[in-house]
Amino acid sequence: MGSRQARNIVRSILGTSEIPLSTKQVYELAWKRFPKATVGEQSAPSFPSPPLAAKEHYKRKQPPLPPRGVNHPIPSMKHLKTRVLPLLVARSEVEKVYTTRAQATEEPTDAKSKGHSKAATKSASPTTAAKAWLWRIHPTSKGKQVPESPNDVEWKWEAPEKAPAKTHMEMYPLPENIHLNPRRRRARIAKVARDKAWVAEVARAVEAGKRVAERRAAKAKVKVKAAA
């Protein structure tokens, strides 16, 4: 998980940018705008120590060099990709969109034969539109105040309420009478249908009996009043 300073740096860069940015652009802007940003020793990522001295007649592989600025909130591109951006995506603060951006094209081979350098050729080459995955602030976070410093207070975020987990029987309901063979299953279905029809008929009879009893009780009351 990235540090609070790293998340604020990404929020500041994407929140002030008018166009979506690539991961490399976010990384370079983080070092350009906040070169002196640091995190505590406990939050700084750890890197493997160099191996022991090589034995005689044996060449030991050199350890990988640590990224620049170990104490920086975003010490490497991998740290930005795997720890900082995924958390911001999960909090619905940034999103990745597939959009077009300008990209330089290479000049023909005859331009190189005239003695032009590769950098000059690339800068003088025209630009074309290319599709790419870029980062931008999530629409739901556009109204929030953009942090100016890595140590600013983070945006308030509340985890969404999780729906109660469904049981296995709710997710994969079994058909009725699955334990019976086809013949007994058909007989069971027919029997259940007859029982339901009988219950409905009994309920209609009970309602009819109540209505008859109410009519008789009403007639009896009329006769009593007439006799009185």
For the segment 160-186, what is each residue's pLDDT rounded down to a tens digit? 777 788 888 888 888 888 888 999 999
Identify the pLDDT of residue 200.
Answer: 95
Side chain identity, residue 198: W
Identify the CA nearest to 66 among candidates 51, 76, 54, 77. 76
Q: Which helix (H) or strand (E) holds 77?
A: helix 77-79
Distance CA(89)–CA(92), nearest Å, equals: 5
Identify the pLDDT of residue 51.
Answer: 55
The lowest-confidence range among 18-27, 106-115, 124-133 is 106-115
CB-based contact 9:30 (threshold 8 Å): yes
Identify the CA nearest to 79 among candidates 66, 90, 91. 66
pLDDT category of residue 187 using cuts at 50, 70 and 90: very high
Q: What is the CA radius of gyration of the chain?
A: 38
Side chain identity, residue 99: T
Mean per-residue pLDDT of the chain: 79
For 189-214, what is each residue's pLDDT tens digit?
A: 999 999 999 999 999 999 999 999 99
Of 187 and 144, which is predicted with more confidence? Answer: 187
Burial 48-74, CB ≥16 within 10 A → b, else e: eeeeeeeeeeeeeeeeeeeeebeebbb
Q: Which position has the token pair 């290319």? A: 130
Q: What is the mean pLDDT of residues 121-144?
A: 75
Q: Is the pLDDT of residue 9 over 70?
A: yes
Identify the CA nearest to 192 among candidates 209, 210, 180, 204. 180
Q: What is the mean pLDDT of residues 34-41?
A: 78
